[in-house]
Structure 1
């Protein structure tokens, strides 16, 4: 379907990709030292546990949890960084007969009939969740395969999701 067939623009919803980049940077900058220090902590506890009698608990439980935290921060930072690089210029245009989605020099016109289903996962309404875009998470599943995700990093994401959900509601 062409842009003209989608109808006039009813709203434009840009995504704050710059914030996504900051989030990735912060996660990576925190994840690297946490992981490094956690590995040192784990090795030290492992070394000490061999020299002292066992007390019944696993001495590596806490160090392993801290290593997992550090690795988790790194993985989330890499994942968010990839989104930052691949979703530059992300904009949703709400139109009468569908949505036009564009990013990184690519554009896609999606009619309401092209949408198979809309999955909305409830986010948390906290300051941190709002800042990282975790307050809104909607995936638009397309009938021919593929999907488009709207997060709280998109300006007016809640309003956009409501419009999409209402327009695609099946009786």
Structure 2
């Protein structure tokens, strides 16, 4: 039993989807970066390293960026096993990897919206983004991999709006 009042709703994070997106990002990003490196090597054979290197550099950057995103998602998949958010009248409980933290509304210092509205963000869980900073310095992140994340973030914003809105 928590000291957060009556139970409202439970939101589970779809870690299987996060893992699948991690694998996809790594599977696409790594070969794309390799193709970019191959283009640099081929272009270097001709002895010209100038503006012609911009395109292979962009390919390498896109591939490495996607691969890094894949590694980040893979790490989150491991460290956030069993992640759930249980909403109560006076706060929520964040559970991940068999560890639960009670977050009363009064313990929230700020809430920041990191939502992005593009295809890449939607594909990789950034279509909903909410960073909750607690008074003790801890941070809790809600993203698009949590089923019903838009409703959960709305409830968090509504509950903390009078105290956390920027002046």
**Shared fold, TM over 0.5:** yes
Structure 1 residue 38 displacement after superposition: 1.3
Cα deviation, 1:111-159, whole Å, max 9, x if unaligned, reads: 0010001101232165x54342221100000011010000011111111
| 8 Å contact from structure 1 (residues 49, 59) kept in 2 | no
Structure 2 match to 1:77:
70
C-alpha distance in 2, partners of 1:134/1:35? 23
Structure 1 match to 2:143:
151
Aligned residues: 163
Query: If you compute each CA radius of gyration, which structure gives the higher value, 1 or 2?
Result: 1
Structure 2 match to 1:35:
33
Superposition pairs for residues 17-166 of structure 1, below 5 Å? 17-50=15-48, 58-124=51-117, 126=119, 129-166=121-158
SS of 2:87's equivalent? Answer: strand
SS of 1:7's equivalent? Answer: coil
Structure 1 residue 4 displacement after superposition: 2.5
C-alpha distance in 2, partners of 1:59/1:111? 56
C-alpha distance in 2, partners of 1:170/1:60? 52
Moved over 4 A (4+): none
C-alpha distance in 1, partners of 2:152/2:34? 42
- Cα-Cα RMSD: 1.6
